[in-house]
Amino acid sequence: MTRPAGDVLLEVTDLKVHFPIKRGIVIDRTVGHVFAVDGVDLAIRRGETYGLVGESGCGKSTLGRAILRLNEPTDGQVVFDGTDVAALKGEELRKARRRMQMIFQDPLSSLDPRQSVESILLEGMRAHGLDKDKEATQQRLRQLLSAVGLPETALRKYPHEFSGGQRQRIGIARALAVEPDLIVADEPVSALDVSVQAQVVNLLEDLQDQLGLTYLVIAHDLAVVRHISDRIGVMYLGALVEETDADSLYREPLHPYTRALLSAIPVPDPQVEDTREQILLAGDLPSPANPPSGCRFHTRCPWRQASLCDTERPQLREIGGGHRVACHYAEDIRDGRIQPHEVEPELIELTGALNPDLGPPDVGTSAEIL
């Protein structure tokens, strides 16, 4: 399914999304930033499925929303089919959004409970001038429901009348209604039962084959990502740490964080489960408002070295065959020249602006407030 390397539909360059931390009663002052996404580079080829994985809080969803301009980027470029979406405004941005749609994580909260399915599907079509002929529009609605496996009678029903899997199918139909080229699927199956997850994943694959869609699938379920993705990017604390095709990533992960993630996947064979490598990370994900210096994973890394790791941030570099990794010692770890060691959890101290245990925040002088 992977397309030629030159046929790139979406290219993201040094994308950053920093949310300001405000303080003050009358006058807000910016006292810091949450570095939700901090310098991401990736490219998605036309017709492929790019999986994005990482633990909760690493910035996956923020990255997906920033690509669609649902969150405003702080810096960087989002080039979609030759156009920098990050620089568009007004009507140009509205028109560009027709070709980029999103499937949201929670199928119930993403659907308006006061609108029927017909109204939900028509809303996007009307916004982009795709419902000029009434008969053709009704036929299009029936085609959309048929494509996602719902009966025509569903048009007159409301979201609360459907199961979770059916509601997610409505969300998929809504995304397809405006005939997009790219769909960002943010945890599309995480809120569904396992049996329903398989149905929705297979539906997404069938629609891709029929319509030539390009997917950015954001998920934390590594089994789902492996099943659906052509290439996979691994995020940690706002940045990509590894990227390669799905088979290579699961066969030979090179970044220590990726190795830890994959080692957490249970194996149904008890003998294999008891003898395989299992990496237990110490401590919690550091705060994106106060990320560690150097490599952001060095506070939890079993392969941490005294040099470079805590002083110099590694760049995402290619080490062959399209495999990119952000680790100073990736080759040494792969070849066994560096062995893992025990990691002591580090206490992350936050400033008074962020930690309520350190006393009341400084809200400024009376002159600043007034």
pLDDT recorded at residue 207: 93
Can you give the pLDDT at residue 24?
Answer: 81
Report the share of the chain in percent with pLDDT over 90: 66
Residue 179 has pLDDT above 80, yes or no: yes
Around Cβ 271, how many Cβ atoms within 10 Å? 8
Residue type, 198: A
User: Would you place residue 361 in the very low, low, confident or very high pLDDT band (cuts 50, 70, 90)?
Assistant: very low
pTM, 2 dp: 0.87
Mean pLDDT of all residues in the chain? 87
Residue 128, helix vs strand vs coil: coil
Question: Could you tell me the pLDDT band of residue 26, with boundaries at 50, 70 and 90?
Answer: confident
- Residue 180 inside a domain? The answer is no
What letter would DSSP give residue 161? G
Whether 222 is in a domain gets the answer yes
Q: Is the pLDDT of residue 17 over 70?
A: yes
Residue 262: closest CA among 316, 298, 225, 288: 225
CA dihedral sign, ordered 236, 238, 242, 243: positive
- Whether the pLDDT of residue 270 is over 90: the answer is no
Strands 231-236 and 75-80, sheet pairing? unpaired
Q: Is the Cβ–Cβ distance between 11 and 76 less than 8 Å? A: no
Instruction: Answer whether 25's CB lies under 8 Å from 6's CB.
Output: no
| Residue 263: band (very low, low, confident or very high) from pLDDT cuts 50, 70, 90 | confident
Confidence category of residue 359, pLDDT binned at 50, 70, 90: very low
pLDDT at res. 362: 46
In a domain, 160, yes or no: no
Residue 219 lies inside a defined structural domain of this protein: yes
Cα–Cα separations (whole angstroms), residue 138 to 125, 148, 152: 11, 16, 10
Closest CA to 260 of 359, 167, 343: 343
Q: What does the pLDDT average to over 339-353?
A: 66
pLDDT at 142: 94
Name the pairing type of β-strands 75-80 and 29-45: unpaired
> Which CATH number is 12's domain given?
3.40.50.300
Q: What is the pLDDT of residues 88-97, one digit of tens each?
A: 999 999 999 9
Return d(Cα 150, Cα 155) in angstroms, integer. Answer: 9
347 band by pLDDT with thresholds 50, 70 and 90: low
Written as six digits, the tokens of 189 are 């199956």
- Angle, to 10 degrees, between the axis of helix 134-147 and the axis of helix 164-176? 130
The packing angle between helices 194-211 and 164-176, to 10°, is: 20
Indicate whether 131 belongs to any domain. Answer: no
Distance between CA atoms of residues 17 and 45, nearest Å: 23
What is the predicted pLDDT for the residue at 345?
65
Does the pLDDT value for residue 183 go beyond 90? yes
> What is the tens place of the pLDDT at every residue in 107-157?
889 999 999 999 999 999 999 988 888 899 999 999 999 999 999 999 999
Lowest mean pLDDT, pick from 272-286, 289-303, 349-363: 349-363
User: Cβ neighbours of residue 160 under 8 Å, at least 6 residues apart?
Assistant: 108, 113
Q: Which helix (H) or strand (E) is 83 found in, with range?
A: strand 83-84
- Closest by CA to 184, choosing from 53, 83, 63, is 63
Residue 265: predicted pLDDT: 81
Number of structural domains in the chain: 1
Measure the CA–CA gap between 280 and 340, rounded to whole angstroms.
11
Average pLDDT (241-259) is: 94
Residue 353 lies in a domain: yes
Residue 338 in this model has a pLDDT that exceeds 60? yes
Residues 37-89: tens digit of each pLDDT: 999 999 999 999 999 999 888 999 999 999 999 999 999 999 999 999 999 99
Identify the pLDDT of residue 348: 57
pLDDT attached to residue 367:
36
Instruction: Give Cα 53 to chain centroid, integer Å.
Output: 7
Kindly state whether residue 204 falls inside one of the protein's structural domains. no
Contact 100, 152 (CB under 8 A): no
pLDDT-above-70 percentage for the chain? 91
- Residue 117: how many CA atoms within 13 Å on its side-chain side? 27
User: How large is the average pLDDT for residues 198-208?
Assistant: 91
Q: Determine the structural domain holding residue 90 and report its residue range.
A: 8-99+213-369
Q: What is the mean pLDDT of residues 180-206?
A: 89
- Higher-confidence residue of 175 and 223: namely 175
Q: What is the mean pLDDT of the segment spanning 240-249? A: 95
Rounded to whole angstroms, what are the CA distances from 92 to 7, 87, 99, 129, 334?
Answer: 24, 10, 12, 15, 47
Model confidence band, residue 256 (pLDDT cutoffs 50, 70, 90): very high
- Residue 341 domain flag: yes
